[in-house]
């Protein structure tokens, strides 16, 4: 702990972060957020103040212009992206970014904003949080059922993580079939409407933030792991079909795509080709890091943040540490 405190003094009080920012100044950073809360607003305010003080906020479209050679980016260029399209962004994130004039791109899930579904990882958490059972056995294990113990909040945290990560690795058909019976497995009635805190921004909400400068991107139709989809027509529906739905509902072009989960195993050549053919101008992953002017616009790296992150740790991430 003493070593960590000493290192932070060097980084934050003696110019260490400034040295790191200078080293990466010719690259651009794309920050990632998901949900927001009223409790975490001071953290977001501190992060925004740090961005304004030490970076040059730009839009994602400005980054694409720079990649096309239309206009150069300033040193230490940075933009903000928000995945999933939760309504909490409208309530607790957007006002802070807007006040600080920091451009944001929100990636919405078409079916979520359409009111046809709520996000499947949230359903997993809801079921395991609300079950009265001390354990459940799932058929998703490698060769044998997976046993999830649920006696304590800590065991439930671990079970939520294990089950969610396991479902990311199975075929999309198998994930859908599992979720259809998940409520019965837990003995929990999974509601049709998302509970408080899990709601989506509606199309009206998205149009409202777009009118104030937020760029709206697409995060698929239902948030599957795209590399786990074997049917070409289904893949096209999740990507190109979602783009068409969003453009029809919003009355504007949707140029940017975000791969659900977005790791290397989640994005194969067929997925990238489908994104290109659908007419998107860019796509972001969750691979961690900064990008140079030679970056592949369909594999843009990002820096993971959250509304609850300690602002000091967030400043270190934005300088290039912890990658």
User: Any idea what the CATH number is for the domain that residue 58 is in?
Assistant: 3.20.20.370
Residues 142 and 287 in one domain: no
Determine the Cα–Cα distance for residues 109 and 225; give it in Å rounded to an integer: 13
- The band of 322, judged by pLDDT with boundaries at 50, 70 and 90, is confident
Q: How many residues does the chain have?
A: 323
Q: Do the domain assignments include residue 50?
A: yes
* pTM, rounded to two decimals: 0.94
Residues 135 and 263 in one domain: no
pLDDT at 46 > cutoff 90: yes
pLDDT tens digits along 101-152: 999 999 999 999 999 999 999 999 999 999 999 999 998 866 678 999 999 9
Q: Do the domain assignments include residue 240?
A: yes
Q: Do the domain assignments include residue 7?
A: no
Task: Please count the helices (runs of H) and the strands (runs of E) in the chain.
Answer: 16, 10
Contacts of 298 (CB under 8 A, 6+ apart): 272, 275, 276, 280, 282, 283
DSSP β-ladder status, 282-288 and 104-108: unpaired
Q: Do the domain assignments include residue 301?
A: yes
Residues 95 and 212 in one domain: yes
Mean pLDDT of 64-85: 96
Question: What are 33's strand-pairing partners?
Answer: 82
Residues 205 and 64 in one domain: yes
Q: From residue 23, how far is each of 5, 7, 20, 32, 291 by CA, in Å?
A: 23, 18, 5, 21, 13
Which of 139, 165, 186 terminates a domain? The answer is 186
Which of 129, 161, 186 terminates a domain? The answer is 186
Q: Return the SS3 of 31.
A: strand
Mean pLDDT, the chain, rounded, equals: 94
Q: Do the domain assignments include residue 63?
A: yes
Determine the Cα–Cα distance for residues 67 and 220; give it in Å rounded to an integer: 24
pLDDT of 145: 86
CB 306 within 8 Å of CB 34:
yes
Mean pLDDT of 51-68: 97
pLDDT of 3: 58
pLDDT at 2 > cutoff 60: no
Residues 91 and 218 in one domain: yes
Which of 156, 186, 216 terminates a domain? The answer is 186
pLDDT tens digits along 182-226: 999 999 999 999 999 999 999 999 999 999 999 999 999 999 999
Percentage above 70 pLDDT, the chain: 95
Dihedrals phi, psi of 104, to nearest 5 degrees: -130, 140
Q: Return the SS3 of 218.
A: strand
Dihedrals phi, psi of 300, to nearest 5 degrees: -70, 130
pLDDT of 81: 98
pLDDT of 149: 97
Residues 107 and 229 in one domain: yes
Residues 101 and 126 in one domain: no
Residues 182 and 82 in one domain: no
pLDDT of 7: 63
Residues 225 and 82 in one domain: yes
Mean pLDDT of 239-248: 98
Q: Do the domain assignments include residue 311?
A: no
Per residue, the 3-state secondary structure of 223-288, as one string, reads CCCHHHCCCHHHHHHHHHHHHHHHHHHHCCCCCEEECCCCCHHHCCHHHHHHHHHCCCCEEEEEEE
Q: Do the domain assignments include residue 323?
A: no
Mean pLDDT of 305-314: 94
Q: Do the domain assignments include residue 4?
A: no
Residues 173 and 274 in one domain: no
Residues 181 and 202 in one domain: no
- Domain residue limits at 165: 120-186
Quote the number of domains for the chain: 2
pLDDT at 285 > cutoff 60: yes
pLDDT tens digits along 144-177: 789 999 999 999 999 999 999 999 999 999 999 9
Residues 99 and 220 in one domain: yes
């Amino acid at each position: 702990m003493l070593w960590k405190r000493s290192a932070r003094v060097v980084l934050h009080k003696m110019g260490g972060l400034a040295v790191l920012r200078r080293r990466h100044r010719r690259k651009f950073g794309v920050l990632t957020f998901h949900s927001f809360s009223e409790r975490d607003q001071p953290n977001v305010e501190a992060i925004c103040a740090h961005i304004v003080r030490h970076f040059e906020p730009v839009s994602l479209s400005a980054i694409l212009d720079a990649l096309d050679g239309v206009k150069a980016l300033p040193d230490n260029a940075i933009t903000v992206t928000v995945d999933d399209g939760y309504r909490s962004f409208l309530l607790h994130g957007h006002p802070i970014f807007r006040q600080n004039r920091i451009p944001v791109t929100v990636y919405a899930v078409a079916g979520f904003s359409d009111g046809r579904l709520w996000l499947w990882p949230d359903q997993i958490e809801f079921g395991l949080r609300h079950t009265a059972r001390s354990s459940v056995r799932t058929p998703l294990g490698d060769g044998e059922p997976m046993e999830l113990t649920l006696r304590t909040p800590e065991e439930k945290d671990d079970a939520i993580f294990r089950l969610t990560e396991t479902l990311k690795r199975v075929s999309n058909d198998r994930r859908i079939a599992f979720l259809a019976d998940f409520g019965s497995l837990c003995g929990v009635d999974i509601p049709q409407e998302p509970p408080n805190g899990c709601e989506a921004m509606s199309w009206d909400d998205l149009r409202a933030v777009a009118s104030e400068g937020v760029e709206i991107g697409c995060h698929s139709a239902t948030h599957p792991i795209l590399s786990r989809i074997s049917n070409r027509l289904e893949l096209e529906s999740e990507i190109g079909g979602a783009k068409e739905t969003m453009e029809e509902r919003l009355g504007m072009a949707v140029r940017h795509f975000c791969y659900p989960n977005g790791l290397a195993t989640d994005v194969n050549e067929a997925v990238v080709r489908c994104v290109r053919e659908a007419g998107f101008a860019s796509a972001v992953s969750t691979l961690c890091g900064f990008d140079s002017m030679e970056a592949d616009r369909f594999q843009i790296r990002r820096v993971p943040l959250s509304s609850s992150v300690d602002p000091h740790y967030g400043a270190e991430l934005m300088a290039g540490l912890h990658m």
